[in-house]
Amino acid sequence: MQRSEQLFQQAQKLFPGGVNSPVRAFGRVGGTPPYFKRGSGPYLFDEDDKQYIDYIGSWGPMVLGHAHPGVIKAVQDAASDSLSFGAPTAVETELALKIQQHLPSMQMMRMVSSGTEATMSAIRLARGFTGRDKILKFEGCYHGHSDSLLVKAGSGALTMGEPDSAGVPTDLAKLTLTLPYNNLEAVEQLFAVDGSNIAAIIVEPIAGNMGMICPVPGFLEGLRVICDQHGAVLIFDEVMTGFRVHIGGAQGLYKVRPDLTTLGKVIGGGLPVGAFGGRTDIMQCIAPLGPVYQAGTLSGNPIAMASGLATLTALEAPDFFQNLHAMTHRLTEGLSSLAESAGIGLSTVGQGGMFGFFFSGQGPVSNFEAVMAGDADQFNRFFHSMLDQGVYLAPSPFESGFVSASHTSEDIDRTLEKAERALQSL
Ligand code: KE4
């Protein structure tokens, strides 16, 4: 991995930790991150021309696989007409209509340029709409890096061991209440005493930033009832799950309707796009219609909109999510049985094109505390064995993995052959 090592050394002088997003630095697993120069379908090629089967997919956007011909053509065609106008375009309307077709709860929406912008704006909107200041999030959930949401956060914050970031004013952080994921009783107790001061609950309807954790039956439905009882806004952060776990997102899978939804990743197809939207009466509080200000130079960028539109059009193909789920299931079931044969405690979970695995003997994992009890050393050794064998997994136990529509059963089976060797070596 010589070229990547040289590049990483040079990058350390330019970027903190040598990276532009912390989890990429391999801080949790050690070693040098490969530098990629090309992707094609399920494969990545690093600067030393080593090929990897990719299970990160740029942390979710690449649900079609890398360099999908239809997406690349849409981007090239749009780019030849200029990269940005800073003005309304027809293509942003087309993308919004397609999103709304599959997520009808998004009666109105606003495009932004990242998931962080989407959740930050949604929180401000919920506070402006209700006139309340407190919000509730769940331990281990990550909603991007805006100040109010960097409290007991997951993903890179957890990977770096800093779930509560420095630099967030104490007076602001105390307005962010946190509870264990999947603990509905704790939410009921909190709202019983403080419900009239809570503007919103923001939740990952399937948690993907402390590994992958699915909601226990009744959890999401219960949040819906509590928000209705207390006039709080229910925000589903579907930046990761949107167009990843089901054509209708997690809200379509679990049939629970949020008041607001945040999106990102897949709706940009690899280009910077986020969105927030939901009930018309709430969205009408957003400037220029209402008093909640929100803006962005490159919001609705036409190249990014074209990329997202081509991506969503492609995933509307018949049986797209059934096939994607079948591939993911083949991987997770295979990993489970290989681990059992190797006498390793491994629990796996998968939904649509998203999966997780935990090195823990305690069976299914349902919250942050159980995640933290996992065997981090086994994870690290498994990760590096797979990376050496050309399988690119997330470099942290506090992330999810992603399968694309371009992964074939042969790719999955080759992955499992390598996993067998990795598990035997633990
Ligand atoms: P971005 O600002 O990174 O586009 O989105 C923030 C965000 C919001 N909500 C959820 C549920 C998310 O998963 C994310 C971002 N996810 C991480 C991966 N766990 C992005 C990868 C990174 O931080 O480098």
State which ligand 1 atom lies nearest to the alpha carbon of 156.
23
pLDDT at 310: 98
- Burial label for 152, CB within 10 Å (0-12, 13-18, 19+), is buried
Residue 162 pLDDT level (bands cut at 50, 70, 90)? confident
> Residues 148, 169: contact at Cβ < 8 Å?
no
Average pLDDT over residues 168-177: 94
> What local confidence, expressed as pLDDT, does residue 297 receive?
98
Is the pTM higher than 0.95? The answer reads yes
The band of 303, judged by pLDDT with boundaries at 50, 70 and 90, is: very high
> Residue 147: what pLDDT?
96
pLDDT for res 153:
86
Q: Does 359 have pLDDT greater than 70?
A: yes
Chain Cα centroid distance, residue 13: 29
Question: Tell me, what's the pLDDT at 155?
Answer: 84
The CB of 155 under 6 Å from ligand 1? The reply is: yes
Q: Catalytic residue positions?
A: 142, 237, 265
Mean pLDDT of 237-262: 98
Instruction: Give pLDDT, residue 38.
Output: 98
- Mean pLDDT value across residues 155-161: 80
Residue 54 beta carbon below 6 angstroms from any ligand 1 atom: no
Residues whose CB is less than 8 angstroms from the CB of residue 161 and which lie 6 or more positions away in sequence, other chains included: none
Q: Decide: 347 and 358 in contact? Cβ < 8 Å.
A: yes
Instruction: Judge residue 157's burial from the number of C-beta atoms within 10 Å of its C-beta, 0-12 exposed, 13-18 middle, 19 or more buried.
Output: buried
Q: Which two tokens stand for residue 153?
A: 């956060």
pLDDT of residue 364 exceeding 70, the answer is yes
Q: What is the pLDDT of residue 171?
A: 92
Residue nearest to atom 18 of ligand 1 (CA): 59
pLDDT exceeds 90 at position 146: yes
Give the pLDDT mean for 138-160. Answer: 90
Out of 3.50.50.60, 1.20.120.530, 3.90.1150.10, 3.40.50.300, the CATH code matching 2-63+319-424 is 3.90.1150.10
Where are the CATH 3.40.640.10 domain residues in the chain?
69-314
DSSP string, 125-187: HHHHHH---EEEEETT----S-GGG-SS--HHHHHTT-SS-TTS-HHHHTTEEEE-TT-HHHH
Percent of the chain residues topping a pLDDT of 90: 92
Q: What is the per-residue pLDDT across 67-111, written as a single tens digit (0 to 9) for each?
A: 999 999 999 999 999 999 999 999 999 999 999 999 999 999 999
Burial per residue of 386-405, b for 16 or more beta-carbon CB atoms within 10 angstroms, e otherwise: bbebbbbbbbbbbbbbbbbb
57 lines ligand 1 (CB under 6 A): no
**pLDDT band (50, 70, 90) for residue 1:** low
Ligand 1 atom nearest to CA at 399: 19
Mean pLDDT, rounded, for 279-295:
98
Q: How far is the CA of 344 from the centre of ligand 1 (A)?
A: 30
End-to-end C-alpha distance for the chain, whole angstroms: 23
329 burial type by CB count under 10 A (0-12 exposed, 13-18 middle, 19+ buried): middle
> Which position has the higher pLDDT, 421 or 156?
421
pLDDT recorded at residue 228:
98
H-helix or E-strand containing 324?
helix 320-341
| Position 250 pLDDT exceeds 80 | yes
Instruction: State the distance from the centre of ligand 1 to the C-alpha of 193, rounded, in angstroms.
Output: 32
**207 C-alpha to ligand 1 centroid (Å):** 12
Q: Specify the amino acid at residue 31.
A: G
Query: Which of the four CATH numbers 2.60.40.420, 3.40.50.1820, 3.40.50.2020, 3.40.640.10 does domain 69-314 have?
Result: 3.40.640.10
Domain with CATH 3.90.1150.10 in the chain: 2-63+319-424
Say yes or no: CB of residue 360 within 6 Å of ligand 1. Answer: no
- CA dist 261 → 109, 199, 216 (Å): 9, 15, 20
209 lines ligand 1 (CB under 6 A): yes
In this prediction, residue 339 has a pLDDT band, given cuts at 50, 70 and 90, of very high
Give the CA distances from residue 226 to residues 95, 181, 196, 199, 232, in Å, rounded to whole numbers and listed in that order. Answer: 32, 15, 11, 12, 8
Q: Is the pLDDT of residue 263 over 90?
A: yes
| Burial class, 221, CB count within 10 angstroms (exposed 0-12 / middle 13-18 / buried 19+) | middle
- 114 DSSP 8-state letter: S
